Structure 1
């Protein structure tokens, strides 16, 4: 089985906001482990095949002597590095079958994060021509990359730490703090660089079908090997490619000799045959014709699910049968409606899919879960699962440093398995709602489904969100119906109405406020009222985003940000306060539901005790409301809902000339570090020069802390 390349991504992932680099760092910081000795890294993740004896391996001596140990620009590093990596002799290349290309030379806007690419990408030789023929603005480079190398000109810009030899590594942080001690601006810049590295990893995982990815980070002449999967990242010790070139050369040789699966490709995905692509396109077009909005362009709607020349096939195992070819069905898919833009977690890719045998349209969900209620994806009779989690947790290997920024993990390591799920209901996204009538009718359908599941199967959904509601046009219905999909996180309930699964789950934007403080809620099971609260937030979100109102551009997103960060039960009321909706029905529905959910002291008895039991009181109000109010069928209005922070802000310039002496620095005050807060007026103080203060080593600080504890702390007798 061979690997596939350049999977299309959803239009939201192409045009929508992206997480800032520092956001990637914060989201991943507790799921990194290292520094792993390079020899152990290679033997664990790229074991030398018994049949592959490196008799044609180019000599590693002096392989990277032209790479400087520090430079003023990244080009001074990556140009000689790429030349050394592509070196060939009569015996063959350094990495047989692969070529290294300077991707940094093909960037449309080098000063914007959205357009940034890794400095060097490794490709299979046949794929290089495809990449070089593409437009500079294209992201096809990451759709074909086997691995990539990011370069910085100075070793002090390394995000990670190499502890001294013969020490207890658990006393050292994996993260390097040289850049913190030498100034806040430098600290932020180093986080930006590593965050951009993570952003490239995330994009490769979105544009390829992968189980993991190798990358290389080089700072001056010091290199680190990294392995990424949906549970986190394993980091190797830094090694100097000038002094120890054999490490990088051995890595490249092993990388070239392993299989596509050994390089991280999910080889269970295949290219669709030409006739299968035609079948997929025609089936999707026919299904969209039954769901098309009045006046909507058919071909534009088809493009949301079909990218010409990019149709793929995957087999899905039947849930109640053992793994075998006779118990699998072949599904065709193309452009997803949702692409994951984060490293950790489910990494979900959701697509319209077509059964290759019957042409039936379904929804295919490709995801990484820590649950075991569905048959996972198998490759060569082995379950596809993550491996980083094996090295995380309390029982870390002796070579591992302490977790970054904490002595204990904030989030328990997640062992994830790869799943593909096929869901029968296929409709249009909830975001395509036409007006007030469809919004409230569709959400009432969802509410009915929630109550029916509880009454008939004693089951809670536990993940009510805009992404888990689809709109389906049925022949006997004037308004599209709302379908609640993705019951993967659902749970049966006990006799007291609480979910049997105690762990809190859900989409963060729409989680009930009592469950939204994740560090404190691991033992809080869901109840029906939590899902009802999530549905209230779904309607509120839709009203701010797609209903006509008097808020200026940008204000809906700002209000939603404030709402999301609040843990108060009245957060929804605060987000909707003062908003004048053109639809009186929307305002009335929100006011009534918010009073049911969190009544104020001024509310009368008729609004109290409604948010209880099986939701019958809420259903009675909602059913009567839909029957007696005139609801606007087509008053949809688009409001700007982009991220507040610009994803295209340029990186702050930095040169090696501005680097303070190593091991020294000044520490800014807390007010200077809090640059996001508005400074308070304060009396002028005499100007003075900042003094460079020698900082004690971590070993000295630990010894002082240990002596302080043994002496009984502050005030102990000496």
Structure 2
């Protein structure tokens, strides 16, 4: 059976094929071996008979043992084909030559020359036998050292040594690159044992970082010719171009045993074979399709007019060749085209198959059986020579390319036709974690559109841009750069694809970038069933190195076919709009910041014949003036040339982040898996995602205040802010390479502190010294150092006042890169029950008040900032926006809008106090409880947390929160949790409803936070004293973003924008919200049996007494504050609930409004 963890990837061959092999031994670099095309010149061969014999064997499933099924072995030699490819590998002594076979998985020697044992050779107790349909071998299985290239070795590779073989001539054996399941049954007596392939061994021995092998076979008409290569552990970007397409591995046998996929065949517009299963096989020369009178091959012969020939292949005339239509293989709804040239046998090789030099033979042939056999198509060498293939055992899908091969000669012949689309480069994969669905997609689009405003600075001179941000040691431009012209860029392109082709062609021809830089065509690789958060358009990625993975990206190029699509057009007279070109650049920039460790990034915008340079950092974006690159070609050419001369740090890469070695990555992964396997330790759902292989693995260096340095291994953040500017916090589970244990690491960009501000490191030092409880221990923290001196800092703000700049956004801040390392903590959803969760929030309230006593305010209380430590106790983290409380000085506002107090939401000019932090504890608890505990809440209930309206004075909202305080509309199945939330609500409501003899806001400003905290803690303690708390009532997130129904998503969005959304019952009329799923009798099932007296809260029970106590809050009028206490500030005379101070808002009034009475 085909294992589900294999991936086959096709992308088109490169424009120029390098005959030499490139080999680098680096942890993250692939290993490349050259392959040679071998053409049979000893006489004519019946290539069709040989291929059909192999097809017969493959239809058996590839698992035929010569010990039991000798009869299936054909008398046709395995090497009796016109063309095959060989690779030279040293096994034992001397070096040996192997056929490359993707249809089998055994590696063996001894066919042509006897195997010579060495001191490293170890014989096993197994015999081995492999059947190929057109040949076989039997012998003994050995373990030996294999030398691949340049001294690189595999230790203990399992190989077969032939004592007898049939059908092989001129080669020493076979290197099998198929799925290793095909080796099961080839050993005796260990018939159920699978043998690791060479790729498996390279990966398991940490020689390569990815269990992946790529094969490049290029069509040529000359021989001998070393024009192919095998790359282990990655891909060679110089060998392919074009976009790719995910396709699921076929489940149809026997194709499922090999590199199989479902496909359909079409000749021109005529379908000749409906979707069926086929395989990709390097051991088959031709392209074989199902036969029979009404089947694919019969139709193909009729449509082409081909006639049988002595060679076994169809033969056509010159006139028929001129009219020959393209043949399309449709894989996962994408067409892969065989043009007329691709369908014919190379005429220079006609003699090898018994044909005359002028004859025209077709390479599409009869597979020998009717369709429906489970293997109806074999895409052989004639297919592989057109497409670069990658076999990846770490994934579960096939990846297939779209574009056809273009050789270097073909490119040069088309230079006189600048509008011809000639593509170069490859594919950039965005990790799957960069996706979401439903309401968040729309919310993201709205948010991103708003976030893009106010970040642009400029326009500045392109020359100033390059001199300031693209310095090179020796500014002597080569003549080819000075003479470079972009005249091959189409003047009136009909699509961006034409611009892409022309640009790549010019860069290659004029050598504007060094060989270390590679151009990739970039697309978003996503699950077809999951729309991406950001619709990332195809563009060009300029990268360092040959890996097409997204994290190797260094610079983006966005193409738009007309100048009018330039969103920065100065003729607009205002700030740039957020049209798609800029959105795409911004989205790519966010992706680059997310998956790479970067301090800034550069990008290029080409709109028609005009260009702009952009530099993005966490403060904003600097944009240049537009210039005509046709009239000023040297300026754009110099931009590319400078970029190619810059160091990686100059390109924006963080010098304190290095790719992790395989040993470091393996240690990190082992620690995470060990933690997940230990059921005595706290767990959280995202733990496994922190080692997501789609993300690069880095070693980050963290420097403390005293200069101490410790290195930590990180991979995928479990929390990430998808924004360009701001703090842009990324939270990691990290591996301490010194202590050899898992820790929490936070990476963000803090604003430059003023004289009264403190860094998070300084705040932690102060509050820990003051004995503030319920804090997570800080191991190490500090600003991230730059390569030379000082800290990593943004520069966009410095250009704001540059003379001539039209765009001078307010509020740009200088930001410094900061990291904090703490003991590992866990999100609230890991709490075993609601009582543990409530205890965590009680700790948060206590921490907020202790910090107040020490002179500090947190200002960002949220569920994400209240965690559980290793002992399961609640801790308050993320003090990065904390501020020192200074008497008579108002604190400016910050924090997470969802959990801001009702006062801050309703009054955009109100200052922030510790009382607001205390209220945030309530909203955070309510929000978390709605998501993780059974209740009557619906997705629309959550709308009150997102209510926001823009006004001239700032964002407002909070009316839904105010209504909820006046009349709670959610009931929880856990009576104790319901009781607690109601008691806290009443405490807050009492705060807003105190009888006043003076302006309400003046009163609120004068209330002592300690009084509010004492009331809240009193409620916590009273309800926690009840023993009837549920033992295990924590649920999976009831309302995960993007996982509810489309109707619910629409309702939530409408609620977000203030539209009424009635809940319609079956009759179409408005219906009441449903009762909790565990209402009435089910409530008791959630409870502990410790106190049967509390079971139904009867009169006289402990719980009933508590309920009466906490819900019967007697609000006593307070004496008005003294003049010294009063704050005549921006809180003004406006009521907390949005009414004037002369119109007192009472609980009953709001309740009446909320219920529509």
TM-score category (smaller protein)? 0.7 to 0.9
* Counterparts of 2:431 and 2:830, CA distance in 1: 15
Q: CA deviation at 1:69?
A: 4.0
- Alignment equivalent of 1:54, drawn from 477, 484, 498: 477
Give the unaligned 5+ runs of structure 2.
Answer: 1-25, 30-208, 210-427, 754-758, 762-781, 950-954, 997-1003, 1047-1056, 1061-1157
Which residue in 2 is equivalent to 1:708?
Answer: none
3-state SS of paired residue (1:599): helix
Alignment of structure 1 residues 207-226 onto 2, 5 Å: 207-226=595-614
3-state DSSP class of the match of 1:541?
helix
C-alpha distance in 2 between matches for 1:292 and 1:283: 15
Aligned to 1:446, which of 844, 867, 870? 844
Distance 1:514 1:601 in 2: 9
* Matched position secondary structure for 2:934: coil
2:538 is the alignment partner of 1:119:
yes
- Are residue 35 (structure 1) and residue 442 (structure 2) matched? no
Which position in structure 1 is the counterpart of 2:561?
153
- 1:342-381 residue pairs with structure 2 within 5 A? 342-372=723-753, 373=759, 374=761, 375-378=782-785, 379-381=787-789
Deviation at 1:626, TM superposition (A): 0.6
Task: Please list the CA deviations of residues 137-174 of structure 1 after superposition, one character each: whole Å capped at 9, or x if unmatched.
Answer: xxx43x2211111122222121112359xxxxxxx424
**How far is 1:283 from its partner?**
3.5
Equivalent in the alignment of 1:504: 893
Which of 846, 853, 858 is equivalent to 1:461? 858
- How far is 1:8 from its partner? 12
Q: Does the residue aligned with 1:54 lie in a helix, a strand or coil?
A: coil
Distance 1:624 1:344, change over 3 A: same
Distance in 1 between residues matched to 2:640 and 2:832, nearest whole Å: 54
Aligned twin of 1:316? 702
SS in 2 for 1:117: coil
Q: Residues 383 and 30 (structure 1 numbering): CA distance in 2 closer, same or farther, change over 3 Å?
A: same
Contact 1:82–1:102, Cα closer than 8 Å, also in 2: no
How many pairs align? 581
1-structure distance, mates of 2:479, 2:883: 57
Alignment of 1:74-473 (within 5 A): 74-88=496-510, 92-104=511-523, 113-114=532-533, 116-124=535-543, 126-127=545-546, 130-131=547-548, 140-141=549-550, 143-162=551-570, 172-175=573-576, 191-288=579-676, 302-307=687-692, 310-319=696-705, 321=706, 323=707, 327-372=708-753, 373=759, 374=761, 375-378=782-785, 379-392=787-800, 396-403=801-808, 409=809, 411-423=810-822, 425-455=823-853, 457-473=854-870
> In 1, distance between residues paired with 2:525 and 2:859?
45
Mapping for residues 545-694 of structure 1, pairs under 5 Å: 545-552=931-938, 554-562=939-947, 567-568=957-958, 571=961, 573-574=963-964, 577-599=968-990, 613=1011, 615-628=1013-1026, 630-637=1028-1035, 638-642=1037-1041
CA distance in 1, matches of 2:897, 2:1013: 23
Alpha carbons of 1:402 and 1:22: their partners in 2 closer, same or farther (altered >3 Å)?
same
1:531 and 2:917 matched:
yes
Is the contact made by 1:11 and 1:337 (CA closer than 8 Å) also made in structure 2? Answer: no
Secondary structure at the aligned position of 2:783 is classed as coil
Q: Give, in angstroms, the shift of residue 507 of structure 1.
A: 2.0
Q: 1:593 to 1:333 in 2, by over 3 A?
A: same
TM-score by structure 2 length? 0.46
Distance 1:571 1:70, change over 3 A: farther
**Which residue in 1 is equivalent to 2:487?**
65
Deviations, residues 500-536 of structure 1 (Å, cap 9, x unaligned): 7833222222223444589735xx3x43211101111
Maintained 8 Å contact 1:313/1:332 = yes
1:227 partner SS = strand
Query: Could you tell me how far apart the structure 2 residues matched to 1:197 and 1:26 are?
Result: 15
Where 1:305 maps in the other structure, the secondary structure is: helix
* Counterparts in 2 of 1:601 and 1:453: CA distance versus 1, 3 Å: closer
2:873 aligned partner: 481
Q: CA deviation at 1:284?
A: 3.5
Map Cα deviations across residues 568-598 of structure 1 (whole Å, 9 max, x no partner).
Answer: 4771543884223222233322222122112
Secondary structure at 2:1025 match in 1: helix
Counterpart-to-counterpart distance in 2, 1:175 and 1:82: 28
More helix by share: 1
CA distance in 2, matches of 1:152, 1:538: 45
Contact 1:110/1:116 (CA < 8 Å) preserved in 2?
no
Aligned to 2:416: none
Determine the C-alpha separation between the residues in 2 that align with 1:234 and 1:513: 38
Distance 2:554 2:566 in 1: 23
1:604 CA displacement: 11
Change (3 A) 1:619 1:557: closer
Shift of 1:350: 1.2
| 1:266 shift after superposition | 0.5
Quote the Cα distance in structure 2 between the aligned partners of 1:202 and 1:266: 16
Q: Which structure has the highest strand share of the two?
A: 2
Check the 8 A contact 2:585/2:603 in 1, yes or no: no
Residues 1:29 and 1:283: Cα distance change in structure 2 (over 3 Å): same
Contact persistence 1:364–1:421 (CA under 8 A): yes
Whether contact under 8 Å (2:613, 2:623) holds in the other structure is yes
Q: Is the 8 A contact 1:46 1:262 kept in 2?
A: yes
Residues in 1 aligned to 2:1023 and 2:579: alpha-carbon distance in whole angstroms: 52
Give 3-state SS (helix, strand or coil) of 1:230's partner. coil
| TM superposition shift of 1:287 | 4.5
8 Å CA contact retained: 1:42, 1:251 = yes
CA separation of 1:200 and 1:590: change in aligned 2, threshold 3 A: same
> Do the aligned partners of 2:519 and 2:542 also contact (CA within 8 Å) in 1?
yes
CA change 1:600–1:273 in 2 (3 A) is: closer
Shift of the alpha carbon at 1:14?
4.3
Instruction: Answer whether contact 1:123 1:144 (CA < 8 A) is retained.
Output: no
Secondary structure at the aligned position of 1:206 is classed as: helix
Give the secondary-structure state (helix, strand or coil) at the position aligned to 2:585: helix
Evaluate the alpha carbon distance shift between residue 100 and residue 427 of structure 1 in structure 2; reply closer, same or farther with a 3 A threshold. Answer: same
For the pair shown, which has the larger CA radius of gyration, 1 or 2?
A: 2
Distance 1:428 1:412, change over 3 A: same
Partners of 1:51 and 1:414 in 2: CA distance:
33
Aligned counterpart, 1:701: none
State the shift of 1:563 in Å: 7.6
Structure 1 residues 51 and 610, CA gap change in structure 2 (3 angstroms):
closer
Deviates more, 1:614-623 or 1:50-59: 50-59
Q: 1:633 to 1:310 in 2, by over 3 A?
A: farther
Tell me how far 1:232 sits from its aligned partner. Answer: 0.6
Change (3 A) 1:397 1:52: closer
Change over 3 Å in CA distance of 1:35–1:301 after alignment to 2: closer
Contact 2:833 2:1030 in 1 (8 A): yes
Instruction: For residue 398 of structure 1, give the secondary structure of its aligned residue in structure 2.
Output: coil
What CA distance in whole angstroms lies between the structure 1 residues aligned with 2:28 and 2:466? 25
Residues 244-277 of structure 1, C-alpha deviations (whole Å, 9 max, x = no match): 2222111111111111111111121012333333
* Partner Cα distance (1:87, 1:630) in 2: 78
